C-alpha cells in the first residue's frame, strides 16, 4: 500500500507539472478562443469552455489559482456534491491537458492535409445535398429496390495476413506473435453483409445502405459515392447514405482494433527513416473490397426497383433495451416500414429502426461462453434471418445507442444458454418475431410458423423466471404511407478535441479526412441529414452513437442530472422539428459517442457517474452542441412548415 501511495503521489506531481505546461503550450495550441471564418462549409466549430465551475450563481476558472481557491471555499460551503464537482472538474482538466500535450508532440501523418491544401481541393467531392426543394404533394406511387451482398473475403480464415475483429480488445497474445491488442478471426459464426434499399416517390432516389460493421469513416463513404458518381447522375439518385449496424464482432473497418501499437511506432519512425512507409489501421485490401461491393450492391438495388405501397407501424420494445449511462433514457420503439410490391409474387421488404448495441457475441469472457474470436453480425443478422424465413427482405438501421445495450433478461429468461452467441441468436430471433407480429393478435401469433409450443414448454420447465415474448401482447395499427420523400444533408466542420482520438488521427490509424487548420487545430468534415417519409415520418441522420436525451430531451440534458449542473444549451432534436423524430445513427461517418457538452467528463473516478467509456470514444466535449446546432440550422434552411 505504501508503494502505491508513493507512486500515486509521484504521478500526481507529474500530472500537475505537465498540466501546467499544457496550459501554456498544448492548451494554447489546441483550444483557441477565436471563431474562424466559415470558408466554403458551415463551420460550427466552438472553442473549448474555460475550465469553469459554477457555484451559487458565481463562476470560477480553476486554472486561475485565486479563482480556484474561491471555488474550493464555495464548494466547502455547498457540501459533498459541490466538492466532488470541483475536484472532478479539476482532475479532468489535468487529465485532458496532459493527454493534449502528449498528442501535440506526435508527428502528424502524411495523410493529414494543411488547411491550404484542403481548401484548394473539392471539399464537397462525393457529397449529395439531397432534395432541391421539399414537397408535400404525394407522387404517383412508391418504388423500392433491394439487394444484399456478403462482405467476407474469400481467404477470411486462410490468409497469411490476419483479419481482425472490431469492438473489443482481446486479452490474449495470439500464438507466437506479439500483435496485441489485435483480435484475429478464428471462426465465422455468421455472415458480414451489406444490405441496400433504394426508395423513390417521384422526386429522386434515396439510397439507404447498411453495413454489418462497427462504423464507417467519412473518407470511405466519400469513396463509395465517387464510385457511383456517374451512375447516380444517370439514375436520378439524390442521396446515398451508408450506415453501420455497429456490430462489435465484424471485421475492423475503422483501424482501431488491430495491432495498432506496432503500426503507430512504425508511422512515427517513418517520419525519420525514409525506407519505412506509413501503415493504415484498417486492412487496405479489405476496405477496397467493401467499397466496391457496396457500390455494386447499390447498383443492383436500383435495378431491382418495383412499384408498390409502403406501410408504417411502431411497437414499444423498451423491455429489450438497457441503459448503462444514468439516468435511464431509451428510445424504446421499433419502427417497421413494410413495402408491398404491386407485382404478384415479388418479394416484400421491411426496413427496421431500433436502438441497441450489437455487442453480445464478441466479448471475451472468463466463463468460457465466448473467447472473442468469432466473426458475427450479432443480433441484426438474426432479426433479418427471421424476416427472410417469412419471405421478406430486411434492412436494419440502428438508432440512438449511446450507452444502450441489449437487455438480456427479456430474451434469456434465466436459461443457461451455452454461449454468448446463443444469447445473441435468441435476442435477434425474438425481435424478428416482434417485427413480424406487430399487427397480429395473440391468437394469430400462436398460429404462426415461428411459434413452437413444444419448445416453449420445454424452456418454461427449465426456468422459473421464464416470460413469454408475446405474454401481454397488444397489436398496433399499421398505416399506409403516402408517396412523399424529402431529404436534405449538410456538411459540418468539427474540431477534434478529444486528445486520444487526436493522437490516433495524427498517427494515421483512422480513415477520416482530417486537416490541420491555420490556428493549429485538427478538423474533419462530417455531415448530418433530415429525412421525411410520407407526411408524418421524419428522421435525423447523425454520424455516430447519439445519447437518446439529445433526441428526446430531459435526462442528462437537464441540470439536475448533468455533470456540471447546468442545462444543455440547445433544445432537443424533437423540439427542433416539433416532436416524434426518429434517429438514424452511425450515418455516413463515425465520430464515436455524441453527448451533451454539459454531461461530459474525462475524470473517470466517480463510480456514481456510470458513464462507462463514452468520453474516451468521441471527437470531443462539443460534438453534441456542434451537431445539434448544425441540425437546427439545417432545419431552418429547409423551412418545413
More confident site: 160 or 612? 160
**Over residues 303-319, mean pLDDT:** 97
| Lowest mean per-residue pLDDT among 43-47, 59-63, 263-267, 297-301 | 43-47
Whether the predicted model's global pTM rises above the 0.85 cut: yes
**Over residues 166-178, mean pLDDT:** 61
46 pLDDT higher than 50: no
Question: What is the pairing mode between strands 113-114 and 514-516?
Answer: parallel
Ramachandran quadrant class, 77 (left: phi over 0; alpha: psi -120 to 50; beta: rest): alpha
**Over residues 133-148, mean pLDDT:** 97
The C-alpha torsion from 198 through 217 and 522 to 50, rounded to 10°, is 80
Rounded mean pLDDT of the chain? Answer: 86
Query: Is residue 637 packed enough to be buried (19+ CB in 10 Å), middle (13-18) or exposed (0-12)?
Result: exposed
- Contact (Cβ atoms closer than 8 angstroms) between residue 277 and residue 284: no
Name the maximum alpha-carbon separation found in the chain: 79
Grid coordinates of 338? 413494410
- Contact (Cβ atoms closer than 8 angstroms) between residue 22 and residue 48: no
Ramachandran quadrant class, 89 (left: phi over 0; alpha: psi -120 to 50; beta: rest): alpha
Model confidence band, residue 637 (pLDDT cutoffs 50, 70, 90): very high
Alpha helices in 242-283 (DSSP H): 260-270
Model confidence band, residue 176 (pLDDT cutoffs 50, 70, 90): very low
**Over residues 219-239, mean pLDDT:** 97
Model confidence band, residue 82 (pLDDT cutoffs 50, 70, 90): confident
**pLDDT number for residue 171:** 58
**Over residues 510-517, mean pLDDT:** 89
- Strand partners for 477: none
What proportion of the chain, given as a percentage, has pLDDT over 70?
87
Grid coordinates of 437? 407480429
CA 607/CA 64 separation, integer angstroms: 28
Q: Name the one residue in this structure whose C-alpha cell is 434465466.
A: 414
Q: How many C-beta atoms lie closer than 10 Å to residue 305's C-beta?
A: 18
Phi, psi angles (nearest 5°) of residue 477: -85, 150
**Over residues 98-114, mean pLDDT:** 85
More confident site: 172 or 23? 172
| Dihedral sign, Cα of residue 302, residue 306, residue 307, residue 312 | negative
490 pLDDT higher than 50: yes
Grid coordinates of 184? 484475429
User: pLDDT, tens digit, for every residue of 236-267?
Assistant: 999 999 999 999 999 999 988 888 788 888 88
CA 336/CA 122 separation, integer angstroms: 38
CA 436/CA 397 separation, integer angstroms: 16
More confident site: 78 or 315? 315
**pLDDT number for residue 465:** 81
More confident site: 372 or 235? 235
CA 353/CA 533 separation, integer angstroms: 14
**Over residues 15-36, mean pLDDT:** 36
Nearest-5° Cα angle at 384, 573 to 225: 60
2 pLDDT higher than 60: no
Q: Is 290 helix (H, G, I), strand (E, B) or coil?
A: helix
Query: Is residue 371 packed enough to be buried (19+ CB in 10 Å), middle (13-18) or exposed (0-12)?
Result: middle
310 pLDDT higher than 50: yes
| Spatial CA neighbour of 246 closest among 405, 137, 369, 471 | 405
**pLDDT number for residue 537:** 97
CA 209/CA 223 separation, integer angstroms: 14
Model confidence band, residue 148 (pLDDT cutoffs 50, 70, 90): very high
CA 122/CA 513 separation, integer angstroms: 12
CA 340/CA 294 separation, integer angstroms: 25
Model confidence band, residue 180 (pLDDT cutoffs 50, 70, 90): low
**pLDDT number for residue 31:** 29
More confident site: 510 or 196? 196
User: pLDDT, tens digit, for every residue of 549-592?
Assistant: 999 999 999 988 888 788 999 999 999 999 999 999 999 999 99
| Dihedral sign, Cα of residue 409, residue 415, residue 416, residue 417 | negative
Residue 55's H or E segment, with its range, is strand 52-55
| Lowest mean per-residue pLDDT among 195-204, 332-341, 356-365, 378-387 | 356-365
DSSP state of 306: E
**pLDDT number for residue 605:** 55
| Lowest mean per-residue pLDDT among 92-101, 185-194, 382-391, 586-595 | 92-101
- Contact (Cβ atoms closer than 8 angstroms) between residue 571 and residue 601: no
CA atoms within 13 A on the CB side of 237: 30
Grid coordinates of 175? 500464438
Amino acid at each position: 500500500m505504501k508503494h502505491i501511495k508513493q507512486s500515486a503521489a509521484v504521478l500526481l506531481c507529474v500530472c500537475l507539472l505537465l498540466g501546467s505546461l499544457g496550459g501554456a503550450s498544448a492548451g494554447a495550441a489546441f483550444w483557441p478562443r477565436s471563431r474562424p471564418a466559415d470558408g466554403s462549409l458551415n463551420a460550427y466549430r466552438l472553442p473549448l469552455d474555460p475550465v469553469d465551475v459554477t457555484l451559487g450563481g458565481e463562476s470560477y476558472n480553476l486554472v486561475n489559482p485565486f479563482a480556484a481557491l474561491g471555488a474550493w471555499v464555495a464548494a466547502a460551503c455547498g457540501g459533498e456534491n459541490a466538492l466532488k464537482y470541483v475536484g472532478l472538474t479539476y482532475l479532468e482538466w489535468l487529465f485532458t491537458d496532459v493527454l493534449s500535450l502528449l498528442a501535440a508532440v506526435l508527428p502528424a501523418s502524411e495523410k493529414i492535409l494543411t488547411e491550404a491544401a484542403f481548401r484548394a481541393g473539392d471539399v464537397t467531392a462525393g457529397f449529395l445535398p439531397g432534395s432541391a426543394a421539399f414537397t408535400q404533394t404525394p407522387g404517383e406511387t412508391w418504388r423500392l429496390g433491394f439487394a444484399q451482398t456478403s462482405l467476407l473475403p474469400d481467404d477470411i480464415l486462410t490468409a497469411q495476413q490476419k483479419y481482425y475483429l472490431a469492438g473489443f480488445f482481446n486479452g490474449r497474445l495470439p500464438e507466437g506473435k506479439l500483435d496485441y491488442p489485435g483480435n484475429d478471426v478464428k471462426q465465422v459464426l455468421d455472415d458480414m453483409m451489406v444490405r441496400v434499399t433504394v426508395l423513390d416517390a417521384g422526386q429522386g432516389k434515396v439510397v439507404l445502405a447498411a453495413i454489418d460493421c462497427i462504423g464507417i469513416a467519412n473518407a470511405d463513404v466519400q469513396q463509395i459515392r465517387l464510385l457511383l458518381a456517374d451512375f447516380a447522375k444517370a439514375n436520378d439518385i439524390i442521396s446515398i447514405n451508408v450506415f453501420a449496424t455497429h456490430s462489435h464482432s465484424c471485421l475492423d473497418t475503422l483501424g482501431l482494433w488491430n495491432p495498432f501499437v506496432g503500426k503507430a511506432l512504425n508511422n512515427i519512425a517513418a517520419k525519420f527513416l525514409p525506407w519505412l512507409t506509413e501503415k493504415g489501421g484498417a486492412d487496405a485490401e479489405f476496405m477496397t473490397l467493401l467499397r466496391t461491393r457496396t457500390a455494386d450492391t447499390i447498383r443492383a438495388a436500383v435495378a431491382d426497383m418495383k412499384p408498390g405501397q409502403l406501410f408504417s407501424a411502431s411497437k414499444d420494445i423498451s423491455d429489450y433495451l438497457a441503459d448503462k449511462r444514468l439516468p435511464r433514457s431509451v428510445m424504446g420503439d421499433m419502427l417497421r416500414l413494410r413495402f408491398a410490391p404491386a407485382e404478384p409474387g415479388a418479394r416484400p421488404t421491411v426496413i427496421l429502426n431500433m436502438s441497441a448495441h450489437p455487442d453480445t457475441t464478441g466479448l471475451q469472457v472468463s466463463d468460457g461462453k465466448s473467447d472473442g474470436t468469432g466473426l458475427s453480425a450479432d443480433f441484426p443478422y438474426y432479426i433479418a434471418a427471421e424476416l427472410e424465413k417469412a419471405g421478406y427482405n430486411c434492412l436494419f438501421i440502428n438508432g440512438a445507442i449511446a450507452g444502450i445495450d441489449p437487455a438480456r433478461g427479456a430474451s434469456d429468461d434465466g436459461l443457461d444458454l451455452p454461449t454468448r452467441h446463443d444469447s445473441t441468436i435468441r435476442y435477434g430471433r425474438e425481435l424478428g418475431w416482434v417485427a413480424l407480429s406487430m399487427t397480429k393478435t395473440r391468437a394469430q401469433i400462436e398460429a404462426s410458423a415461428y411459434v413452437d409450443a413444444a419448445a416453449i414448454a420445454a424452456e418454461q420447465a427449465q426456468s422459473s423466471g421464464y416470460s413469454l415474448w408475446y405474454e401481454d401482447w397488444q397489436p398496433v395499427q399499421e398505416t399506409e404511407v403516402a408517396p412523399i420523400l424529402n431529404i436534405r444533408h449538410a456538411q459540418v466542420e468539427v474540431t477534434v478535441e478529444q486528445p486520444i482520438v487526436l493522437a490516433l488521427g495524427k498517427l494515421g490509424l483512422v480513415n477520416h479526412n482530417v486537416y490541420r487548420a491555420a490556428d493549429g487545430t485538427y478538423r474533419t468534415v462530417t455531415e448530418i441529414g433530415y429525412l421525411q417519409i410520407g407526411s408524418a415520418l421524419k428522421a435525423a441522420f447523425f454520424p455516430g452513437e447519439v445519447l437518446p436525451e439529445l433526441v428526446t430531451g430531459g435526462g442528462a440534458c437537464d441540470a439536475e442530472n448533468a455533470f456540471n449542473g447546468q442545462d444543455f444549451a440547445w433544445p432537443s432534436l424533437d423540439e427542433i422539428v416539433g416532436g416524434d423524430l426518429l434517429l438514424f445513427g452511425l450515418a455516413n461517418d463515425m465520430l464515436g459517442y455524441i453527448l451533451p457538452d454539459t454531461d461530459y467528463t474525462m475524470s473517470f473516478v466517480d463510480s456514481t457517474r456510470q458513464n462507462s467509456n463514452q468520453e474516451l470514444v468521441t471527437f470531443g466535449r462539443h460534438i453534441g452542441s456542434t451537431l445539434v446546432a448544425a441540425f437546427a440550422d439545417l432545419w431552418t434552411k429547409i423551412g418545413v412548415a
